[in-house]
Amino acid sequence: MSRKVFLFIAMSLDGYIAGNNDNIDFLSTVEVPGEDYGYAAFQQEVDTVIWGRKTYDKVLTIDPQFSHKDKRCIVLSRTRQGRDNHVEFFNGPVTELIGSLKQQEGKNIYCDGGGEVIYELLQHGLIDRMIVSVIPHLVGDGVHLFKGGRPEQALKLTRSLTFPSGLVQLWYEKK
């Protein structure tokens, strides 16, 4: 089985993954005890996580215990090199990284953002499945999930789920 690149991410109804100053407080509007929106099951399908450096820095403020210790974690950075606790930094082209990862044995690859990384992956048609959770909240301004200027891509909706919190989860596969 060939490894695939999956995006599992949440955005506001108006398309933002973060507000101004990288504020993600809107995500808490759908927090419900015992509901993880399929995240734990998704985590069983992946063994590698890719983050942009800004997303990694944000993860450390939210999750100081670092819940991805059981996965290979790669942070894309223009400046940082080597390793830092549980992650390795990668400075080369994302196409080179994904090409290398797909040649290795393992489970699927999880991209957790941010906007710049997602843009680069889409620019090169490297995302095989997008799982986008839409939060019923209008952020107004901030970091868009999908930056403009990337190539047009056709997707196939494979699943849509609705939850009592108002969150709608959309699953798309690359055509």
Instruction: Give the whole-number percent of the chain exceeding pLDDT 90.
Output: 81
List pLDDT tens digits, range 89-137: 999 999 999 999 999 999 999 998 888 899 999 999 999 999 999 999 9
Domain with 54 in it: what CATH number? Answer: 3.40.430.10
36 located within any domain: no
User: Residue 155: inside a domain, yes or no?
Assistant: yes
Q: What is the pLDDT of residue 1?
A: 60
135 falls within a domain: yes
Q: Which domain holds residue 58?
A: 43-164
Percent residues over pLDDT 70 in the chain: 99
pTM of the model: 0.92
Does 17 fall in a domain?
A: no
Q: Is residue 175 one of the residues assigned to a domain?
A: no
In a domain, 22, yes or no: no
Which residue is associated with the tokens 């929106």? 37
Q: What is the rounded distance in angstroms from the CA atom of residue 133 to the CA atom of residue 126?
A: 20
Average pLDDT, the chain: 94
Taking 70 as the threshold, does the pLDDT of residue 143 lie above it?
yes
Where are the alpha helices (H) located in the chain, listed in sequence order? 39-43, 53-62, 94-103, 115-123
Residue 13 covered by a domain? no
Is residue 4, in this structure, part of any structural domain at all?
no
* Residues 60-88 pLDDT 10s: 888 877 888 899 999 999 999 899 888 99
Model pLDDT, residue 62: 85
Q: What is the mean pLDDT of residues 11-19?
A: 97
Number of compact structural domains in the chain: 1
DSSP strand E in 53-154: where? 72-76, 83-84, 87-90, 108-111, 129-135, 142-144
Q: How many CB atoms lie within 10 A of CB 92?
A: 9
**pLDDT (mean) for 127-148:** 96
DSSP 8-state code for residue 45: T
